[in-house]
Amino acid sequence: MSLMGEYINRKLSVPELESELLRLISEYNKLRDTYLFVYAAAIGKPIPTIPLEQADFYVIRDLLAGKKGLQKVDVYIETPGGSGETAEEIVRFLRNNFDTISFVVSGEAKSAGTIIVLSGDEILMTETGSLGPIDAQIKIGRSVVSAYDYIEWVEKKRKEAETQGALNPFDATMVAQVTPGELGSVFHALKFAEDLVVEWLIKYKFKKWTVTKTRKIPVTEEMKKKRAEEIAKELTDHSKWRLHGRSIKIDDLEEIGLKITRVDNDPKLAEIVYRIQTVCRLLFESTTTFKIFATQDNKIFRYAVPVEALIRTPKMQTPDVVVIEQKCLKCNTVHKIYAKFAPNPQIDIDFKSKGFIPFPKDAKIVCKCGFEIDLLGIKNQIEMQIGRKVIIQ
């Protein structure tokens, strides 16, 4: 039976899945004699803050700041990429506080995630794990785009103008909006990502590389620099990988000169890592959770605010109750909830008789399909609009 099938058959509640994640982290720590930090994002959910952002750094720092006595930390990472500056802050923090940093990849660690992983003393990957081409995500107008793709598009249009003498009206209009300053910032963003990779490979990944594998020749700093530059060049060559989101697997990474620890060669370690990945997926699929930060001691989950909620407020200056019709994101069942602001028992009698349920104590409801809906964001929104606190029974 698959791990996903096993967990589904066990019918674990969300709190039980959360406890299982912490248990697995503890088992991992015992096996590897380390301290594992899990950072996972729900790749694919249509939420703007899924990519790596500065707020993530603050959470990572907060959870690990009290662990400075540790020598070794492993980081399980799953992210579509995001801010290169945040990637730099995360790595600087880890390196300033811990001696040995290893990264575990069983899902996707793309773009800025790849940059972070390449700073590790050791990179552990399962067969399902993948990195991606090195790139920088930059904001152009209202959109966030790949720096490499943007530069490539501008260069393509420049060549077209040279060979054809002119561009079509649409392309000419688009190119006219590109300023030298904007183009320069895009170029520097891409170069920034490449420089970080070269610096970190030399300083951390190659620090124990003292002799060559076949000829047993002493490794010099110049040799490390050359190898790092070659790897960075390969990973920034989008003409080779074709797509910004391309999955670069273990064999690809070893082919360009990176040493990867194959998790699947250790059955005990592989089972724990695959279970961590599966539990994270189940939490993403059965709740509004979109980011997980967890150690064996603590966990912080980020929840999306459901947009399907219909909030009805009575037409009075200071209402004593509002009603919420919240649609389940999985099965579309509508849950009828009331939130009251006055300690009036008649409100409960009236709304319960109409099939409404009181606002839950933990701000969460579990649908009949098993999907957990977090209502904390809705509660905050209501309290801000009404200017009164919801009374929790």
Residues 335 and 366 both lie in one domain: yes
**Distances from the Cα of 29 to the Cαs of 62, 206, 267, 368, in angstroms?**
20, 25, 15, 36
For β-strands 122-125 and 261-262, DSSP reports them as parallel
Instruction: Give the pLDDT band (50/70/90) at residue 392.
Output: confident
Residues 42 and 121 both lie in one domain: yes
Instruction: Give the pLDDT band (50/70/90) at residue 216.
Output: confident
Phi, psi of 27 (to 5 degrees): -65, -40
Q: Are 253 and 122 in contact (CB under 8 A)?
A: no
Please say if the pLDDT value at position 129 is more than 80: yes
pLDDT at 139: 63
- Segment 154-166, tens digit of pLDDT: 667 777 777 777 7
Task: Quote the percentage of the chain above a pLDDT of 90.
Answer: 48
- Is residue 25 included in any domain, yes or no? yes
Residues 316 and 299 both lie in one domain: no
Between CA 382 and CA 109 the distance in angstroms is: 37
CATH number (domain holding residue 265): 3.90.226
Average pLDDT, the chain: 86
Q: How many domains does the chain have?
A: 2
Domain with 326 in it:
310-386
- Residue ending a domain, among 274, 303, 332, is 303
Q: Are 91 and 119 in contact (CB under 8 A)?
A: yes
What burial letters (b/e) apply to 345-365, b meaning 16+ CB within 10 Å?
Answer: eebbeebeeeebebbbeebbb
Taken in order 383, 387, 392, 393, is the CA torsion positive or negative?
negative
- Residue ending a domain, among 286, 303, 320, is 303
**Distances from the Cα of 385 to the Cαs of 307, 361, 363, in angstroms?**
16, 20, 18
Q: Write down the residue that tokens 């598009």 correspond to.
A: 153
Residues 50 and 121 both lie in one domain: yes
Neighbours of 235 (CB within 10 A): 26
- Residue ending a domain, among 257, 280, 303, is 303
pLDDT at 11: 84
Please say if the pLDDT value at position 104 is more than 90: yes
Helix, strand, coil in percent for the chain, rounding step 5? 45, 20, 35
Phi, psi of 2 (to 5 degrees): -70, 160
- Segment 288-324, tens digit of pLDDT: 899 999 999 999 999 887 665 667 666 655 688 999 9
Sequence-distant (6+) residues with CB within 8 A of 303 are 287, 288, 289, 290, 374, 376, 377
Question: Does an H or E element contain 32, and which?
Answer: helix 14-32
- Is residue 181 included in any domain, yes or no? no
Residues 118 and 42 both lie in one domain: yes
Tokens encoding 71 = 């020598």
Residue with the bigger pLDDT between 84 and 178: it is 84
pLDDT at 240: 65
